[in-house]
Amino acid sequence: MIPNAFDYQRAGSIDEALSLIGTPGTKVIAGGMSLLPLMKLRLASPDKLVDIGRLKELKGVRQLSDGRLAIGALTTYAELADSPARHYGLLRDALPDIGDVQVRNRGTVGGSIAHCDPASDLPAVLLALDAEIVARSKRGEKVYPVDGFFTGAFTTALADDEIVTEVLLPGPRDDAGSAYQALNQRASGYSIAGVAAVVIKEGGSAITKANIALTGVGDVPYRAKAVEAALVGNEGTAESIAAAAAHATDGVTVQSDIHADSEYRTAMAAVYTRRAITAALARLDE
């Protein structure tokens, strides 16, 4: 199908972009890997597109003085995979299987976050990493904790006049292991059930902290708090991991669609949660 008619403006700077947004019907576009397919299906019909895809100040990955990584919003998946972020095990797992080659070379980190597809991989990874989302508007800069940023299917806490500018990741630590495991829908690459896991053992054999995030299961990527609570204090035996993973969908309305019904998704959520935790612990012991 052909999209409905729309106006188009390419911003030459972040300040110009901010001056062009904030009105109803205006959407920001960069790689276009998420928005354009919806427009072609007429599931989205913006009145105006503001193109920020050539703003070099929003690209690249750099390490901050406190050890954190700052990822520019226009950094593509492929660029992220070749950056220092590859040292995070769950990013090494997730990035090669996002979409296809075109998506990985054109799709951007900021676009994935702002679009908030319920089956997108990167939001779950960022949830497990306790990332922070930096956004700018004409009112100034705001930093959002990622937990709570994704509010529903294709909706976030981002205000209409804000643009995601970068993502902040905590610095790597020797007592943490991470992994991402997903059951993908082969044609699209989207996750039927995807699980990002970070486990930490501080000074002993027991798990002292666990961040477990799922995508593709509910109407929004989410932290599985019941799984996390069940893991803390355990040493990561197969039995304790399986028992914790059984809580992967606690309190979640599990989706049912043409790819998988809710019963199958619930079962796969537990299976892939177990696999992700096991893989994260294996990396911790390397």
Q: How many CB atoms lie within 10 A of CB 263?
A: 10
- Alpha-carbon distance 11 to 218, whole Å? 35
pLDDT tens digits, 140-180: 999 999 999 999 988 999 999 999 999 999 998 899 999 99
- Alpha-carbon distance 85 to 69, whole Å? 7
- pLDDT score of 40 more than 80: yes
Tell me which fold the domain 176-284 belongs to: Enolase-like; domain 1 (3.30.390)
Q: What is the average pLDDT value for the chain, to the nearest integer?
A: 93
- Alpha-carbon distance 231 to 242, whole Å? 10
Place of tokens 């904790």: 145
Indicate where the chain has its CATH 3.30.43.10 domain(s): 7-51
Q: Which of 3.30.43.10, 2.60.120.620, 1.10.10.10, 3.40.50.720 is the CATH number of 7-51?
A: 3.30.43.10
Q: How far is CA 126 from CA 100, 113, 129, 200, in A?
A: 20, 9, 5, 16
Please give the single-letter amino acid code of residue 108: T
Q: In sequence order, which residues have a C-beta less than 8 Å from that of residue 90 and are 6 or more positions away?
A: 125, 128, 129, 178, 179, 180, 196, 197, 198, 280
- pLDDT score of 216 more than 80: yes
DSSP 76: B
The dihedral sign for the CA sequence 155, 161, 166, 170:
negative
- Alpha-carbon distance 226 to 229, whole Å? 5
- pLDDT score of 286 more than 80: no
- Structure tokens given for 124: 């779950």
Which pLDDT score, from 0 to 100, does residue 36 have? Answer: 82
Q: How confident is the model at residue 251 (pLDDT cuts 50, 70, 90)?
A: very high
Collapsing DSSP states into helix, strand and coil, what is residue 213? strand
Q: Are 30 and 51 in contact (CB under 8 A)?
A: yes
Indicate where the chain has its CATH 3.30.390.50 domain(s): 176-284
Which pLDDT score, from 0 to 100, does residue 86 have? Answer: 87
Pairing verdict, β 150-152 and 48-51? unpaired
Q: What is the pTM of this model?
A: 0.94
